[in-house]
Structures are given as C-alpha cells and as structure tokens.
Amino acid sequence: MAAGIDTVWTRDEERASGPQPLSRAAIVAAAIEIADADGLEAVSIRRLATRLDARPMSLYSHIGRKGDLVDLMVDEVMGGAIIPGGPPTDDWREALRQIARRTRESTRAHPWMIAAAFHRPFLGPNMLCHIEQSLAAVSELPLSPQRKRAVLLAVDTYTLGFVRWEVMSPKGKSESGTPCANRAEAGPTAAEIDAYIAAQAASGDYPHLAEFIANEPGLGVKAEKFEVGLEWLLTGIAAEVGEAKPAGD
C-alpha cells in the first residue's frame, strides 16, 4: 500500500490455482466494450462472466471488487490520452493543444468516462503519466505552482465539459452508439430540437435567439467549436503571463 492509499495498483493480482484462461487485461477489455455499448451501470460480474464464457467466481481471482474494475477501465482509457514521446517542451501552447485534443478523443470514444471522472479518483499509472505530461507542458511558464495547477484545471475542465456536451447532445448520443432503453428515454432528436428552437425564434419573443440562429442554424455541437474555445483559453493564459500572441495563431 502506497502512502496509506489502497488501490488496485498497490495490490498484486490474485491468482487462482491451476490454469487460468482469463486475465485481468481480458476482463477489463470486455468491461470497456460493455460500458461503451450500454453504459457503466451495465457492467457486472455476471454479465462479464457470460461474455467471457466463464464462471462468475473465476473473475474474482483477477478483480476483487467492481470499484477496482472501474479504476482499471478508467486507467486503460486514459492510456489513449498519453502523447507518445511526450508533448513538445519548447511550446507550451502546442503541448496543451495536443494534450487537450488527445484527452477529448479518448474520452469521447468512451462516454461513460464522464460519469466515472466525477465519482472516482484517477490514481492509475496512465493517469499519473497524463498528469506528468501536463505538468511538463507548463513547467517553463513564469507562474507559481498554484497558478500552473489552475492553468491545467482550466484546460481539463474545458475539455471534459465540452466532451460532456458532445456526448449528451442528441447528435452525440446517436453517434456514440450507446442505445437507450426506449424512444421516450432518448428524448427529441437533434433535428426536432432545431425545429423547435427555430419555431420559438420565429415567434418574435426571442429576438436575440432569432438573430443568432439566422447566422448559425441549429445549436448542435461541432468539432471546430472545440478548437475555437481552446484557442480562446490559451490566449487568456498567454495574456496572464504577458506573452504576445504568436504570429499566425
């Protein structure tokens, strides 16, 4: 146990006696597939055992409890946010861009990560590597450690918030492949929402909304909006450290 914290990474994987067709990696991979299809709440030892054609008790030789399984799933997904070779060390803006983009891509591919991010601490080796890369990105900024932490928190909050917007929107739900139990739970489609907003704007009661959608039809999520918002954020950080905006940005 490290520093008094009990995590799945500080305990050796238990091994049952005799040959074992299962492995922790296989269990985690199957759990991620279930969560991607039906949500994190659909992951259970019984369902995993059925998927892996194994006895439920045999899984406990590798995964002691569901909390450990979720931690392993989260850390496996976080591996996708790690930049091979690390972010550039001579350009903090580009380093944070790359980190934010990879974090968005890996999280967006697994919508259940949003809920997991706010319910369990990220303590696995991939998450620690992600933190290390993020700290390296801002290491040369002329800011106190507290302000550097604030910079990283701002970028992470923006990135995860944008992904939540993406995956929770009707268009995002349909693209994620995550089915709903029935049409009522799914709610209105993106096209239905756009039509409703347009009708309300045409009523004359919402002039600012009418002007807005005249130039920006629909209120859906677009990938380019992520890049625009990220650049605004980086420009604000640069202003705090007194750095001129690079030509061409």
The predicted pLDDT at position 6 comes to 67
Contact 113, 103 (CB under 8 A): no
136 inside domain:
no
The predicted pLDDT at position 202 comes to 86
Which residues form the domain of 53? 8-77
Q: Please return the burial class of 62, using the count of CB atoms within 10 Å of its CB with bins 0-12, 13-18 and 19+.
A: buried
25 inside domain:
yes
17 inside domain:
yes
234 inside domain:
no
pTM of the model as a whole = 0.76
242 inside domain:
no
Identity of the residue numbered 116: A
For the chain, how big is the Rg over CA atoms in Å? 22
249 inside domain:
no
Which CATH number is 21's domain given? 1.10.10.60
Q: CA-to-CA distance for 122 and 14, rounded, in angstroms?
A: 22
Encode the chain in three state secondary structure: CECCECCHHHCCCCCCCCCCCCCHHHHHHHHHHHHHHHCHHHCCHHHHHHHHCCCHHHHCCCCCCHHHHHHHHHHHHHHHHCCCCCCCCCCHHHHHHHHHHHHHHHHHCCCHHHHHHCCCCCCCHHHHHHHHHHHHHCCCCCCCHHHHHHHHHHHHHHHHHHHHHHHHCHHHHHHHCCCCCCHHHHCCCHHHHHHHHHHHHHCCCCHHHHHHHHHCCCCCCCHHHHHHHHHHHHHHHHHHCCCCCCCCC
Q: CA-to-CA distance for 205 and 186, rounded, in angstroms?
A: 29
The total number of structural domains in the chain stands at 2
Q: CA-to-CA distance for 15 and 99, rounded, in angstroms?
A: 36
16 inside domain:
yes
The predicted pLDDT at position 76 comes to 94
The tens-digit pLDDT sequence of the chain (249 residues) is 555 666 776 665 544 444 456 888 999 999 999 999 999 999 999 999 999 999 888 888 888 788 889 999 999 999 999 999 999 989 999 999 999 999 999 999 998 988 887 676 667 899 999 999 999 999 999 999 999 999 999 999 999 999 988 887 655 554 444 444 333 455 677 677 778 888 888 888 888 888 888 777 665 556 678 999 999 999 999 998 877 455 444
112 inside domain:
no
